[in-house]
Amino acid sequence: MNKSRIEAFSDGVIAIIITIMVLELKVPHQADIHTLLPLVPVFLSYVLSFIMIGIYWNNHHHMFHAVSHVRGSVLWANLYLLFWLSLTPFTTAWMGENHIESVPVAVYGFVLMMSGIAYYILARSLIRLEGADSALAVAFGHDRKGKISVVIYAAAIGLAFLNPWIAIAGYVGVALMWLVPDRRVERVLLASTGGAHAPKD
Amino acid sequence: MNKSRIEAFSDGVIAIIITIMVLELKVPHQADIHTLLPLVPVFLSYVLSFIMIGIYWNNHHHMFHAVSHVRGSVLWANLYLLFWLSLTPFTTAWMGENHIESVPVAVYGFVLMMSGIAYYILARSLIRLEGADSALAVAFGHDRKGKISVVIYAAAIGLAFLNPWIAIAGYVGVALMWLVPDRRVERVLLASTGGAHAPKD
Amino acid sequence: MNKSRIEAFSDGVIAIIITIMVLELKVPHQADIHTLLPLVPVFLSYVLSFIMIGIYWNNHHHMFHAVSHVRGSVLWANLYLLFWLSLTPFTTAWMGENHIESVPVAVYGFVLMMSGIAYYILARSLIRLEGADSALAVAFGHDRKGKISVVIYAAAIGLAFLNPWIAIAGYVGVALMWLVPDRRVERVLLASTGGAHAPKD
Amino acid sequence: MNKSRIEAFSDGVIAIIITIMVLELKVPHQADIHTLLPLVPVFLSYVLSFIMIGIYWNNHHHMFHAVSHVRGSVLWANLYLLFWLSLTPFTTAWMGENHIESVPVAVYGFVLMMSGIAYYILARSLIRLEGADSALAVAFGHDRKGKISVVIYAAAIGLAFLNPWIAIAGYVGVALMWLVPDRRVERVLLASTGGAHAPKD
């Protein structure tokens, strides 16, 4: 099966998710600069979620770049990932509107954690298809980064009830860890094709 | 006529349908976990509809994969399917907000049934174009699964007035029946091209 | 310049326009079937606009299919068309919510008329690029259908102040006239390539 | 890495941004033409932002047309641009609803200025990849137009507190300056391929 449509559909869903979050920035009815103040936590939640979704899109891009074909099981694993990502606008808005309180922050982290697990499942289902000695499998390896992220999310969810800011620090930490996109795949691919500047790669 | 733009347009519409449904999960104004309780039926309706739309996307993907070219009639049959699918966010939200009562559950099923019929019409118009001995025609066959779905929907709509939960059970049953994507097409195609791992399929 | 990105962008915008209109179907807060009654004119406006936007997408699809390359001027002519189409969700909702009164019906027709003119401008800018003896120019011809549509719209806008239903009848008439997609282009193209079933067309 | 997915994702996000702005045109509850009057500034803000986003899409289109491949750093520079563009619907609505007052007009300009800077960063990261003697680098040159725009935005933001209309005039001026799409890239590319009508360019 062709991978281009699953890429196009994922691009569409992720583009919508990342963009409709901005609709939660409710337009103030006054022109005063102070009316923007209550929007600051909503805005910061938006920035964090924009980066998170951006990371997922980048890694999704890298991962499918290394894939040659897909199967029905991959379509569903991909939809499962998109499902959890699609809940991000809701948890982002809830967290932002309530000025960083324990429950919304924990729920926000829960959706991030489930997205992380869904990404892992998707990667596994792609590696099963490509084979254990494929560029993708070598690049993905033990996915230490993915596993560490899930552990940090789980810890942060618990700690959110102690102090929501500790949890936020955990989420930001994971984001920073991933801001370097998944170069592993790129590196191995380049090595296997033997050139850094494949012209029409 | 090229099939890639009809695929791209359908991907766009379906991606939007599946994603804007989450906007119906209204963000609570408190941070309390109890404020999520009234959202549970809305959330479960969302999950069901996400799976339903996901099934349509998967099957649409499989079906067009087996198609070599399209005509004006196909564009309209496809738009007719997208029309009914586009009503899903409305019926999902109505059903969810009213905690599973007869009328919204029946209307929800009606839109599902019409989507099923529209999918059948689209498949027929594609088969007419491809020919009765095409891979698509062989794979689609008598479309027993599609016909059974429509019968279940019709029965469920009636039964919703007896007890909405019976209708819900019917919808979930149809979803489970389809969660295995339309492998028939994939199987026949693979057989005709003679290989399970067409590298750039 | 490659035409594929202008197609993809237009597909995206049109897909969003056709889908967000459904958000104007406000979810009723009761489960009663009677609560759907005030939605009937909104729903019928939605159906009419869905068909109208569907016609534009189909014709856009046919037209660009006959085009080999684009220029900066085409990008702007295309954006001008998308601008007028993007106002359709607003006029649709306004007309629907006010149960077919003169002013909203006239404004609805005005946006349709401007979209028709914008489509004509786009077609002209493409023909200028393709040349007067191109398949597109031959197929488009004098564009009688397009000119008649604009005349009907102009008349309907005026008549809306006499009786809005006459205007609605005019809009429906134009829609019926176009429901047969722009086969002219398809026909000429097929004639010039000499076959009705170009396999990977 | 393939550039087609970054184009598709950007097309998706920009298509959504340009289209959801129309949701801020709140549908009046009366059918009277006078109820449209308070919408006039919202509408004019919409027109201005539609043109601005249209300019970004056109230039993005031209720029990536001249690019042969992308890297991880480009993905992030592109996301950074999309982030600022995604704030446009918010600032547009805020400016429109408050009938052109100083603070919203200045904030609107600030987001435009940041978008301009982000576009410059993206162009630089692409040129770094393509090489200093690439068609893109030659075409982009010193980017006088881009730099002038940022200076005008900065001045307009300050002047908005004197008189918001001066700032608006500045924004309109920048838009007019760019309405001629970035032909520089097109021209150099055509020169280097030696023909004005590359058939399948």
Give pLDDT tens digits for B151-161: 999 999 999 99
Q: Which amino acid belongs to residue A189?
A: L
Given a cut of 90, is residue A17 above it in pLDDT? yes
**Assembly ipTM:** 0.86
pLDDT in tens, D154-183: 999 999 999 999 999 999 999 988 886 555
Q: Does A23 touch chain D (CB under 8 A)?
A: yes
Given a cut of 80, is residue C184 above it in pLDDT? no
Q: What is the pLDDT of residue B54?
A: 93
Q: Which amino acid belongs to residue A72?
A: G
Q: What is the mean pLDDT of residues A98-106?
A: 88
CA dihedral (A78, A79, A84, A85) in degrees, to 10, reads: 70
Q: What is the pLDDT of residue B110?
A: 96
C-beta of residue A17 within 8 angstroms of C-beta of residue B19: yes
pLDDT in tens, A113-151: 999 999 999 999 999 888 888 888 887 777 888 889 999
Q: Which chains have at least 3 CB atom pairs separated by less than 8 Å from chain A?
A: B, D
**Hey, are the CB atoms on C98 and D30 less than 8 Å from each other?**
yes
Q: Which of D46, D51, D34, D168 is nearest to D100 (CA)?
A: D168
Mutation to test the B interface, candidates C27, C34, C42, C55, most B Cβ within 10 Å: C27
Residues sharing a CB contact under 8 Å with residue A165, sequence separation 6 or more, in sequence order: A100
- The span from the CA of A183 to the CA of A66, in Å, is 12
Given a cut of 80, is residue D187 above it in pLDDT? no
Q: How is residue C128 written in tokens?
A: 């200028």
> DSSP letter at A21?
G
Please list the ranges in chain B whose pLDDT falls under 50: 193-201
Q: What is the pLDDT of residue C188?
A: 60
Q: What is the pLDDT of residue D191?
A: 59
pLDDT in tens, C46-63: 999 999 999 999 889 888
Q: Which chains have at least 3 CB atom pairs separated by less than 8 Å from chain D?
A: A, C
Q: What is the mean pLDDT of residues D19-35?
A: 85
Residue C183 binned pLDDT confidence (cut-offs 50, 70, 90): low
Q: What is the mean pLDDT of residues D78-104?
A: 92
Which of C22, C30, C197 is the closest to B87 by Cβ?
Answer: C22
**Hey, are the CB atoms on D58 and C76 less than 8 Å from each other?**
yes
pLDDT in tens, C115-157: 999 999 999 999 988 888 888 888 777 788 888 999 999 999 9
Q: Does B109 touch chain C (CB under 8 A)?
A: no
pLDDT in tens, D113-138: 999 999 999 999 999 888 888 888 88
Q: What is the mean pLDDT of residues D2-17?
A: 89
Q: Does B37 touch chain A (CB under 8 A)?
A: no
pLDDT in tens, C157-168: 999 999 999 999
Nearest-Cα distance to chain A for D49, in Å, is 16
**Hey, are the CB atoms on D31 and C98 less than 8 Å from each other?**
yes
Question: Which residues of C fall within a CB distance of 8 Å from D27?
Answer: 24, 90, 93-94, 97
State the count of interchain CB pairs (< 8 A) between A and D. Answer: 92
Angle value at C-alpha B81, between B79 and B87, nearest 5 degrees: 100
What value does the mean pLDDT of chain D take? Answer: 85
- The span from the CA of C140 to the CA of C131, in Å, is 12
pLDDT in tens, C95-121: 988 778 899 999 999 999 999 999 999
Q: What is the mean pLDDT of residues D91-97?
A: 91
What value does the mean pLDDT of chain C take? Answer: 85
- The span from the CA of B162 to the CA of B103, in Å, is 11
Given a cut of 70, is residue C198 above it in pLDDT? no
Determine which helix (DSSP H) or strand (DSSP E) holds A66, and give its type and residue range. Answer: none
